[in-house]
Amino acid sequence: MSEEPTDIDNDLNDIHIDIDINEELDNEWWDVNAVFDAVINIVEEAQARALQPIKHRRKVVEEEAENINKDLKAEIGRFTDTIPALKKLSSYEDPILFLQEFPSHQDLDDSRNWADLQFDTSLSFGTMRKTIAIMMEQIQQELEKLTSTELRRVPKFAVDVKLDPTTAHKCLDLSDDGKEVKDGGKDEEVDDSPERFDLFGSVLGLNCLTSGKSYWEVDVSKKSGWDLGVAKAAANRKGKLSLNPDNGYWVTVHYEDDKYAALSTPPARLSLKEKPEKVGVFVDYEEGLVSFYNVTAQSHIYSFTECLFDDKLFPYFSPQRKGGSKDEHTLGGSREERDRSLRGASPYLKDKYGLSCYIT
């Protein structure tokens, strides 16, 4: 008897879980539906604005055609009325009488040259382009609302990313626990293994992604430059790299303090309204998707879609090495202070200028 209430409680818990899941799905359905309803309205309004000048021009042309038709009928009438008179004139044998009567019919020479008739059907392409630009901006604003929905879901796929010391460039110092890395300002004596980056100041995560969905966040609030993304296990790590999907890298970059790009083929410049403080990276292996988010602003940065993943993937990071003197300051104060500031989170990336980012 004592087990029955427990079984009932378990059943009730399962029911509550199902209800919660259904409510979550319902909320997401309404969110997505509302966005697409708004997009449809935006397109319909833009369509009306784009067609309005054409409708106006069509009305003007119709009025012009109607007036021309009236003028043409009137001129035909004049010719019709004049033909008998001209026949009569042609029968005159007295030239003086002919000259006296002819001036009354000279207005026929003033008839319109209908061969040169043209209708103005030109459109204002500037207005059309402006309408399209406004429409695209409004659509983008609506689609950004879906980012909040995405960012509510992806944390359930969070992975604890740790850095792989065997892949780190020899200028990078990694802590023993694999949670911290900094640009030491000089090359360390390390084995030049095939796994190690030998020119780019880069490092991979230990996490091997071969299926399913994965998500991690990187704090970049103090960085003036960074590379983030994923790399194939077989991707080249030696020499000057071409970081693009053709070479097994799906990466976005921040460079020159205020510039951003997705290293697609060809690279795509990105226009971000504000500098990200925390970047979220989401990978769906089966769907072939790598998405980047500005977590703080709840906005979408870029997505690589229809990716061909036929190999192991690893998180990819670069704090972007820079020239100059080595930063001698302690990172985040004491170890205890640093741990508190990172809220127990993982790898901390720092270049020699003290510009840092860490994975949460």
Q: Are residues 61 and 210 in the same domain?
A: no
- Does the pLDDT of residue 265 top 70, yes or no? yes
Q: Are residues 231 and 268 in the same domain?
A: yes
Q: Are residues 170 and 89 in the same domain?
A: no
Lowest mean pLDDT among 226-230, 232-236, 289-293, 326-330: 326-330
Q: Are residues 263 and 171 in the same domain?
A: yes
- For residue 359, the cross-strand partners are 218
Q: Are residues 168 and 243 in the same domain?
A: yes
- What does residue 4 show for φ and ψ, rounded to 5 degrees? -65, -50
Contacts of 269 (CB under 8 A, 6+ apart): 259, 260, 261
Domain boundary among 153, 181, 197: 153
Q: Are residues 112 and 222 in the same domain?
A: no
327 vs 4, residue with greater confidence:
4
Q: Are residues 328 and 274 in the same domain?
A: yes
Give pLDDT, residue 264.
95
Q: How many domains does the chain have?
A: 2
Q: Are residues 36 and 98 in the same domain?
A: yes
Q: Are residues 11 and 117 in the same domain?
A: yes
Check which CATH number belongs to the domain holding 310 and give it: 2.60.120.920
Domain boundary among 129, 153, 177: 153
Give pLDDT, residue 348.
34
What is the per-residue pLDDT across 139-170, written as a single tens digit (0 to 9) for each?
877 877 778 888 888 989 999 999 999 999 98
Domain boundary among 132, 153, 174: 153
> Could you list the residue range(s) of the whole structural domain that residue 275 is in?
158-359
Q: Are residues 131 and 169 in the same domain?
A: no
Burial of 216 (0-12, 13-18, 19+ CB in 10 A): buried
- Does the pLDDT of residue 231 top 80, yes or no? yes
What is the per-residue pLDDT across 1-23, written as a single tens digit (0 to 9) for each?
444 556 665 655 666 656 666 67
| Distance from the Cα of residue 53 to its chain's centroid | 30
Burial of 321 (0-12, 13-18, 19+ CB in 10 A): middle
348 vs 316, residue with greater confidence:
316
Q: Are residues 232 and 320 in the same domain?
A: yes
Give pLDDT, residue 73.
84
Q: Are residues 52 and 136 in the same domain?
A: yes
User: Residue 54: which region, alpha, beta or left (left: phi > 0; alpha: psi -120 to 50)?
Assistant: alpha
pLDDT bracket for residue 251 (50, 70, 90): very high
pLDDT bracket for residue 293 (50, 70, 90): very high
CA distance linking residue 28 with residue 37, whole number of Å? 14
Cα-only R_g, the chain? 37
Token duo for residue 83? 């033909």
Average of per-residue pLDDT across 300-317: 95
What 3-state DSSP class applies to 226? strand
